[in-house]
Amino acid sequence: MSDQQRIDKWLWATRVFKTRLIAADACKMGRVSIGGRALKPSAMIKVGDKIEVRKPPMTLSLEVIQLLNNRVGPKFVHIYQRNLTPQSEYDLWELQRMTNQAGRRKGTGRPTKKERRDLEEFIQSESAPNWFLESLDDEDDEDDWTDFWDE
């Protein structure tokens, strides 16, 4: 086996990216670097290199322990790479994940049937905020508006 390997192939083989094409695209976009220098997909790496991979919102820091030719199972990834990513990056990722779950994104369309049922269950539960429940109890105040316009 050679003492060097293409970065896109190594990132794919060690399961950093799902496909080799995605790994190559990440390199082309400048998201993969060694020592602050962006790498092309054809860049050669060797054992001991410290690679930074930006996968928004976090940046992974990996050290090459061993090179390989074929993709390995998740149980064996630790043989080929050492994860040097600080905990603060994982905290940032967790915060992003929780923020995305908080509400619907613009342009995602109508709620699904399950989301509608969950919303109705929340509204009928005791955990709904008081101001929300009071606004549902108010009947249409059309009389107030008609009085205003009739004056």
Tell me, which fold does domain 5-102 have in CATH?
A: 3.10.290
pLDDT given at position 115: 82
First-to-last CA distance in the chain?
90
pLDDT given at position 23: 96
In DSSP notation, 27-57 reads HHTT-EEETTEE--TT-EE-TT-EEEEEETT
Q: What are phi and psi of 54, to 5 degrees?
A: -85, 115
pLDDT given at position 61: 95
The boundaries of every CATH 3.10.290.10 domain in the chain are: 5-102
- Banded pLDDT at 148 (limits 50, 70, 90): very low
Average pLDDT over residues 8-16: 95
pLDDT given at position 96: 79
